[in-house]
Amino acid sequence: MIELLTSAEMAAADRMTIASGTPGIDLMEHAGRAVADTVAAAHPVGSKVVVVAGPGNNGGDGFVAARTLSQHGYLVRVLLLGPLAKLTGDAGEAAKRWGGPLEPASADGLGGAQVIVDAMFGAGLDRPVEGQARAVITAINATGVPVVAVDLPSGINGTSGAVMGTAINAVKTITFFRRKPGHLLLPGRLHCGDVRVVDIGISAKTLAAIAPQSCANEPLLWGSAFPTPRLDGHKYSRGHAVVVSGGASSTGAARLAARGALRVGAGLVTIASPSEALQTNAVASLAVMVRAVDGAEGLREFLADHRRNAVVMGPGLGVGPPTRDLVRAALNGPRAVVLDADALTSFSDDADGLFGCIKGRDGSATVLTPHEGEFVRLFGSPERPGSKLERARDAAVRSGAMVVLKGPDTVVASPDGWASINENASPWLATAGAGDVLAGFIGGLLAQGMPPFEASAAAVWIHGACGNEVGPGLISEDLPEVTPKVLRELLRELRLRTGPPIHR
């Protein structure tokens, strides 16, 4: 279940399911019972449970959970946020079925709780939390009592992951049918704790009708396109990646990218090195080849060989007009191009010029891999800040390129609207050179013919898995060296799990 649903898409799924003949109260019953099951699995019968319910459907799920727990011997207290008169529709019916007292939500009502069920707001929250709601959330967090959130911790926007003023800190979150982007995007993910997805009776046919274009970045998303060598293949059939190096004092980044491209499976990798750095690059390279390539004209001539089918440039390349000229030379041809670091910053004052070159490539793959700082330098600060997902999508459309907006919740966005959110990144990846290896991973997969969206998402996932494999003490040189183990485990998983492609 890798598809992610925005709050609007989830609301549409509910409406379509109800319209097809399933009563809304039945969906609510399924949801509330799942919440109750989660509480019961972690807390013994007789525990004191406080359910804090809002007046909407999220609160209705809470009323069902309260009734179910009470029927099974738990000591349940229900606090209502908002006026009783607002309890209508399915939520009103769920409150009637609860049948017990509804106390006004307050800090005092939390006393003695051993577990708190947060059923105040769901994924559709789109306004700042204020007044009594803010006070109650603050009080819940101050108790130190474990909180089980219904759908999403109250105060988190389900589409953007933003904290709407303040938000619940949950230890577990129970969501329904599919996860929401806010479960993966920061800071929302930090508030969710363990997330469990439960089936409440919404069909796969409904999902197909909604056709979401956001996914969690998992092997199921891109596994069917992942390249594996043929028995009758050879190094040239596995692609030839080129990494463009900076000058003699800044060759390390290119060598990291080249090593990454080679380890992820490219048949050949060459560092295109300025003559001044040729000896430095050659001494430090074994399986990676090194060739003297000077300036934009030299690069254009070097890339005339069509077998050199993917180029990575930017790491350690330097910022300024010479780098811009090198980028234009690389983009002038049918090969796949990955632009990172200095290759992006060099176009800070000519972003539209870069985007024009990309859009003029007639479909050849271009991947941009900015971190947040590089993203702002290239695309500017938005007038109305949106979610990371929205910003990456907008940037992909504007540039005509695949955009890999890096971070602990890296987003890969395509100009056609598809996007993935990554969730396996290790905090140990926050170290110099890790991004250079990622650029090499992407280039190496592109060289093997993997489509750009799938190649970018796969590289991001592999990068995260490598970071988790190394763990404490990680330095960027470690990442290519643990790649074989990560790939062995990945290929074993793909043989067991891979289905039809998700992104078409």
- The DSSP string of 334-348 is SSEEEE-THHHHTTT
Please, how many CA atoms are within 13 Å of residue 145, restricted to the half-sphere of its CB?
25
For residue 504, pLDDT over 60 is answered with no
d(CA 285, CA 279): 10
Paired residues of 119 in beta bridges: 53
pLDDT the model gives residue 289? 97
- Give the mean pLDDT of 39-43: 98
The model's confidence at residue 419, banded by pLDDT at 50, 70 and 90, is very high
Q: Please, is 147 exposed, middle or buried when counting C-beta atoms within 10 Å of its C-beta (0-12, 13-18, 19+)?
A: buried
| Best CA proximity match to 449, nearest among 282, 281, 233 | 233
The model's confidence at residue 381, banded by pLDDT at 50, 70 and 90, is confident
- Give the mean pLDDT of 328-335: 96
- Give the mean pLDDT of 59-65: 98
- Give the mean pLDDT of 319-343: 97
For residue 495, pLDDT over 90 is answered with no
Give the least confident one: 86-90, 418-422, 452-456, 494-498: 494-498
Under 8 Å between Cβ of 3 and 207: yes
The model's confidence at residue 364, banded by pLDDT at 50, 70 and 90, is very high
pLDDT digits (tens, 9 = 90+) for 84-109: 888 999 999 999 999 999 999 999 99
For residue 503, pLDDT over 70 is answered with no
Under 8 Å between Cβ of 202 and 3: no
Residues 6+ apart with CB under 8 A from 352: none
For residue 124, pLDDT over 60 is answered with yes
d(CA 486, CA 298): 37
For residue 499, pLDDT over 80 is answered with no
pLDDT the model gives residue 377? 96
CA dihedral 393, 395, 400, 402 (to 10 degrees): -60
pLDDT the model gives residue 2? 94
pLDDT digits (tens, 9 = 90+) for 404-413: 999 999 999 9
Amino acid at 292: A
| Best CA proximity match to 154, nearest among 105, 113, 203, 202 | 105
Residues 6+ apart with CB under 8 A from 472: 428
pLDDT the model gives residue 501? 59
For residue 450, pLDDT over 70 is answered with yes
For residue 114, pLDDT over 80 is answered with yes
pLDDT digits (tens, 9 = 90+) for 126-160: 899 999 999 999 999 999 999 999 999 999 999 99
Distances from the Cα of 158 to the Cαs of 126, 131, 161, 183, in angstroms? 9, 21, 6, 7
Amino acid at 485: K
Distance of CA 211 to the CA centre of its chain: 18
Quote the tokens at residue 246.
Answer: 């900076």
Domains and CATH numbers, the chain: 3-209 (3.40.50.10260), 219-495 (3.40.1190.20)
The model's confidence at residue 447, banded by pLDDT at 50, 70 and 90, is very high
